């Protein structure tokens, strides 16, 4: 039998327990492969600063940018094992773990950013979240970068066939390898941090990327030709270690998700604005001497038809439910 005084002490003890867990200090290690000044880099800095400010330093975020700690593929493995707690790999890189992330790599499958965002918030996003949990990490958010363009050092590219026999650096997904294979080109996967040197030394002829990645890495300075193809989408998944997440009190999970929602809104704005601005920075950089090919409507339609004629092949790489849902968004 518990005496009155003992009962009061026991109730107070129970009330204190959650508070004690809530006030525990810890550090989130967050790895990414792009520059601090990229939209993703700036968004992660905002996430760090906001979370640390709202917790008065109780939760700290240690950011490892530009691939200084891990490339995207290794970062996913490190998140699964709670070696680092968070990462923001490109969809293509996550596709090496969960093939359905490669749906965003399929050329011209999504017309515009609105369709991409509908995919994020709809059935496609839910499927990817479920498959992520089964793979040992939790998908917290989707982030934008933008639609990709093609650069190379050999000759102007006006049609997919113009890529024949050229060597391109890719992010390594099966869809991207098939994309270049269908054009008669050769695809090699290399870490993003190595792209500038690979192009400068002529190890590869070209690459595909967004304007902000091209400008921030100075890729336009070591390439002679750019084609505004907008053929595929480059986005990121913000993931967290399941082992880490499950040990957090509910209040900290809620706080992190709340800060991440604010960060995601900011990241969307930064990506759109920076891609727009960096296109003109590249175009007006007289020292770079890169020649830009703008596809007219007829040329663009030819690109779309070229790849859509091969959708049966691309659809074999991702699951039927993911591919059919993407087609519904068109």
Q: Tokens 């995207």 correspond to what residue?
A: 72
Q: What CA–CA distance (Å, rounded) separates 220 from 149? A: 12
Q: Report which of 31, 34, 36, 40 is spatially closest to residue 268, judged by C-alpha positions.
A: 40
Asked, for residue 110, whether it belongs to a domain, the answer is yes
Residue 23 pLDDT: 61
- pLDDT tens digits, 221-270: 999 999 999 999 999 999 999 999 999 999 999 999 999 999 999 999 99
Asked, for residue 72, whether it belongs to a domain, the answer is yes
Q: Report which of 236, 2, 211, 197 is spatially closest to residue 101, judged by C-alpha positions.
A: 236
Q: What CA–CA distance (Å, rounded) separates 27 from 10? A: 32
DSSP strands (E only) in 58-111: 59-64, 86-87
Q: E strand or H helix at 208, and its extent?
A: strand 206-209
- What is the tally of structural domains in the chain? 1
Q: Report which of 165, 139, 132, 163 is spatially closest to residue 150, judged by C-alpha positions.
A: 163
- pLDDT over 90 at 18, yes or no: no
Asked, for residue 3, whether it belongs to a domain, the answer is no
Angle ∠(160,233,290) on CA atoms, nearest 5 = 55
Asked, for residue 65, whether it belongs to a domain, the answer is yes
Q: What CA–CA distance (Å, rounded) separates 183 from 185? A: 5
**How confident is the model over 135-145, as a mean pLDDT?**
97
Asked whether the beta carbons of 199 and 222 are under 8 A apart, the reply is yes
pTM of the model: 0.90
Domain containing residue 17: CATH number: 3.40.190.170
**How confident is the model over 306-330, as a mean pLDDT?**
96
Residue 4 pLDDT: 44
Asked, for residue 1, whether it belongs to a domain, the answer is no
Q: What CA–CA distance (Å, rounded) separates 146 from 18? A: 42
Asked, for residue 5, whether it belongs to a domain, the answer is no
**Residue 319, phi then psi, degrees to nearest 5:** -75, 155
- For 43, 49, 165, 174, the CA distances from 189, given in Å and listed in that order, are 26, 34, 16, 10
Residue 17 pLDDT: 38
Per-residue confidence at 330, pLDDT binned at 50, 70, 90? confident
Asked, for residue 7, whether it belongs to a domain, the answer is no
Higher pLDDT: 282 or 3? It is: 282
Asked, for residue 6, whether it belongs to a domain, the answer is no
Domain, as residue range, for 277: 13-328
Per-residue confidence at 171, pLDDT binned at 50, 70, 90? very high
Residue 252 pLDDT: 98
């Amino acid at each position: 039998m518990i005496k009155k005084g003992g009962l009061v002490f026991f109730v107070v003890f129970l009330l204190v327990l959650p508070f004690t867990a809530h006030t525990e200090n810890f550090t989130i290690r967050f790895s990414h492969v792009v520059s601090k000044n990229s939209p993703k880099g700036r968004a992660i800095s905002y996430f760090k600063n906001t979370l640390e400010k709202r917790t008065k330093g109780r939760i700290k975020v240690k950011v490892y940018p530009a691939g200084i700690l891990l490339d995207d593929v290794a970062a996913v493995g490190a998140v699964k094992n709670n070696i680092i707690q968070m990462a923001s790999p490109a969809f293509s890189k996550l596709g090496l773990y969960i093939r359905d992330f490669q749906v965003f790599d399929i050329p011209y499958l999504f017309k515009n950013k609105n369709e991409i965002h509908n995919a994020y918030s709809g059935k496609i996003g839910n499927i990817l979240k479920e498959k992520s949990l089964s793979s040992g990490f939790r998908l917290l958010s989707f982030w934008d970068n933008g639609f990709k363009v093609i650069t190379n050092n050999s000759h102007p590219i006006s049609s997919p066939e113009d890529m024949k026999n050229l060597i391109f650096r890719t992010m390594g997904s099966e869809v991207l390898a098939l994309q270049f294979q269908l054009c008669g080109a050769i695809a090699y996967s290399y870490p993003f941090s190595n792209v500038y040197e690979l192009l400068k030394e002529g190890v590869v002829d070209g690459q595909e990327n967004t304007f902000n990645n091209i400008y921030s890495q100075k890729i336009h300075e070591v390439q002679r030709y750019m084609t505004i193809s907008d053929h595929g989408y480059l986005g990121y998944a913000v993931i967290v270690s399941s082992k880490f997440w499950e040990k957090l009190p509910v209040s900290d999970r809620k706080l992190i998700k709340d800060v991440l929602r604010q960060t995601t809104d900011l990241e969307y704005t930064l990506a759109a604005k920076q891609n727009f601005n960096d296109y003109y920075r590249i175009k007006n950089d007289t020292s770079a001497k890169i020649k830009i090919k703008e596809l007219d409507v007829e040329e663009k339609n030819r690109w779309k038809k070229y790849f859509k004629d091969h959708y049966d092949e691309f659809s074999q790489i991702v699951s039927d439910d993911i591919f059919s849902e993407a087609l519904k968004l068109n």
